[in-house]
Chains A and B, each alone.
Chain A
Amino acid sequence: MASAIASLAVPDPSHPPVIAARSITKRFGDFEAVRGIDFDVARGECFGFLGPNGAGKSSLMRMVSSVSPVTSGELHIFGMDPATNGPAIRARMGVVPQTDNLDQELTVEENLVIYGRYFDLARSQCRDRARELLDFVKLADRAGSRVEPLSGGMKRRLTIARSLMNRPELLLLDEPTTGLDPQARHVLWERLYQLKEQGVTLVLTTHYMDEAEQLCDRLVVMDHGLIVAGGTPRGLIDEHATREVLELRLAASDRSGVAQHIGDLAVRVEDLPDRVLVYTPDGDEALARLRAAGVHPLGSLVRRSSLEDVFLRLTGRTLTD
């Protein structure tokens, strides 16, 4: 596989950002999907956009992929303006859209070959790269198959292989693993990690916290078209959550006194219909204090806090669509 993607750019901190966005907005009629956001993506990093459905992630991705124009603000990709240099930008970029839009009338291999042709690659080069990439995504044995009978995970892998045909310096992935089973997700993560190792800049949207923690160097949380927080996964957890979370199942009569019993160790207590969450620097100690006060939970769990806690803290628990 090495040769198909080995030539991709190597991270270089002295380079200008691959993507630079300054107060960009996207409006559809009266609805403002993206309401003025700023961010930079450096060469070679994996940058994530987290947010609930309807947060504006996909609109943002479509602008970055130079398909949808910004309503206002400034966007530069590879230092170029998509409004005037769209084709030149797209030539150096790979796009994995949210829903697979593979060419149903062509075979697996033909899908890759014709995609390479859209980028003006020579026919023989297209065939070589197609074969290498089918190996890379473990679909070599399905080269002559139609697209339709492939499983969801296979289609996703094929879409990723397709996005690599032009050896992109920047790969945009819109919810790359939504709807996949755990095995398929792990294979994809592995592949994405390999690409990053080879120097490809990755930008992805997701609402899976484990995915963001696994893959992203930096990420921002979006809500209602705005960036509400940003940083490294660990940094966000430190900033917006506590070190640990104590999850309790309690009898109704015990619920009210929790914060009082735990005292200063309870940074925040969240009373949910099915359980009580205690955000705390020390879960075991908090639980001990509770027991000492005579409260015996029906069930308890001490866990490290995750990006999910940050996410829910920042975007709330209400369904957004």
Chain B
Amino acid sequence: MNALVRVMPALPGTLRRSSRMVERSVMVYRRTWMIIVSGFFEPLFYLLSIRIGFGALIGEVTVDGSLIDYAEFVAPALMASAAMNGAVYDSTMNIFYKLKHAKLYETVLATPLSPTEVAAGEILWALTRGLLYSIAFLICIVALGMASSGWILLAVPACVLIGFAFAAMGMAVTTYMRGWSDFEFIPAATLPMFLFSATFYPISSYGGWAWAVQISPLYHGAALVRAAALGDASWGIVGHVTYLVVMAGVGLAIAGRRLGTLLRA
């Protein structure tokens, strides 16, 4: 509590300084806006493949005793996975390049910004980008008729939270990377998560291994987006949100501290 009181008055300044990193990214992407636009095609292709392929093949499935369209079951999980992938990419490769090769943070730390503000600013940018992609994803879901509830709008903030958790943790992990070859480990973590987070079939299918699935942060992200998409409110949501908020907080704390030790030696 004491620490919180000390931090509070400084918060507006911190937020403003962090937002400078977002401003820089906007400056960079102003010229390369096509990169951002290209991100809109990813959800479209994903969803089309489900709609055309699986949807027709599988039809309806039973989840927790109720019958739903398979495409409606999978689409939210894909949206959550896309949020994860975008955040991980932004916070690992991009951050590593700026940290080790462009020496960007070295430059910025000669100004009044602190390492934590830099970390927060970069994550804020990852979230801004994630927000745009999530909106695009949502538009595609609705356009392809894969949504049945108006609550699906809440899938967007849910994806921002997923992005926050993964971007913070991704950045924390990146501060430990020694070279580009270390990035080979990232798909080794994200691919199993993508496949085994109750993304393509309900958690009940895992039988006695359900507890292992629940370790995966993407499981909580997908469950959250799915709950929004199906308009399915339950106490489980609190658990999912808590898991992701804690992950974001821990990631941010580690990233800020590690950037400090790396750049302030």
Using a CB–CB cutoff of 8 Å, the interface residues on chain A facing chain B are 28, 65, 67-69, 86-88, 90-91, 95, 97, 99, 101-106, 110, 113-115, 117-120, 166
Count chain A CB atoms within 10 A of each CB in B104, B110, B113, B263 and give the residue with the most.
Answer: B110
16 example contacts (A-B, Cβ-Cβ < 8 A) are as follows: A68-B264, A69-B264, A87-B112, A97-B106, A101-B102, A101-B104, A103-B107, A104-B102, A106-B24, A114-B23, A114-B24, A114-B27, A118-B17, A118-B20, A119-B112, A166-B111
Q: Is the CB of A87 within 8 A of B114?
A: yes
| Contact partners of B263 in chain A: CB under 8 A | 67
Find the B residue at minimum CB distance from A66. B110
Inter-chain CA distance A115–B20, complex, in Å, is 9
Beyond A115-B111, A118-B111, A120-B112, 11 extra complex contacts between A and B, CB < 8 Å: A67-B109, A69-B264, A86-B112, A86-B114, A97-B106, A106-B24, A114-B20, A114-B23, A115-B107, A118-B113, A120-B17
Asked if A65 contacts B110 (CB within 8 A), the reply is yes
Q: Would B28 and A106 count as touching, CB distance under 8 A?
A: yes
Kindly state the separation between the CA atoms of A68 and B260 in the bound complex, as whole angstroms.
10
- Inter-chain contact B265/A118, CB cutoff 8 Å: no
Report whether over half of chain B's contact residues are helix, strand or loop; otherwise say mixed: helix
Is there a chain A Cβ closer than 8 Å to B15's Cβ? no
Q: Inter-chain contact count A-B, CB under 8 Å?
A: 64
Is there an interface contact between B103 and A101, defined as CB atoms closer than 8 Å? Answer: yes
Pick the residue among A69, A86, A101 that contacts B107 (CB under 8 A): A101
Nearest CB of chain B from residue A160's CB, rounded to whole Å: 13
Q: Are B109 and A120 in contact (CB under 8 A)?
A: no
* Cβ contacts under 8 Å, A95 to chain B: 110
Does B108 lie at the interface of the complex (its beta carbon under 8 Å from any beta carbon of A)?
yes
Q: How far is the CB of B250 from chain A (nearest CB, A)?
A: 25
B29 to chain A, nearest CB (A): 9
- When the two chains form the complex, which single residue of B27, B111, B114 contacts A119, counting CB atoms closer than 8 Å? B111
Within 8 A of A (CB), among B234-265: 263-265
| A117 lies within 8 A of B23 (CB) | yes
Q: Are B27 and A67 in contact (CB under 8 A)?
A: no
The listed residue with most B CB atoms (<10 A of its CB), out of A87, A95, A106, is A87
Contact of A91 among B16, B107, B112, B264 (CB under 8 A): B112
The answer to whether A97 touches B27, judged by C-beta atoms less than 8 angstroms apart, is no
CB neighbours of B108 from chain A (8 A):
118
Q: How far is the CB of B122 from chain A (nearest CB, A)?
A: 14
In angstroms, how far is the closest chain A Cβ from the Cβ of B36? 15
- Of B27, B113, B264, which is within 8 A of A110 by CB? B27
**Cα A150 to Cα B112 with chains together (Å):** 28
The closest CB in chain B to the CB of A87 belongs to: B112
Smallest beta-carbon distance A109→chain B, Å: 11
Interface 1/0 per residue, B201-236 and A, CB below 8 Å? 000000000000000000000000000000000000
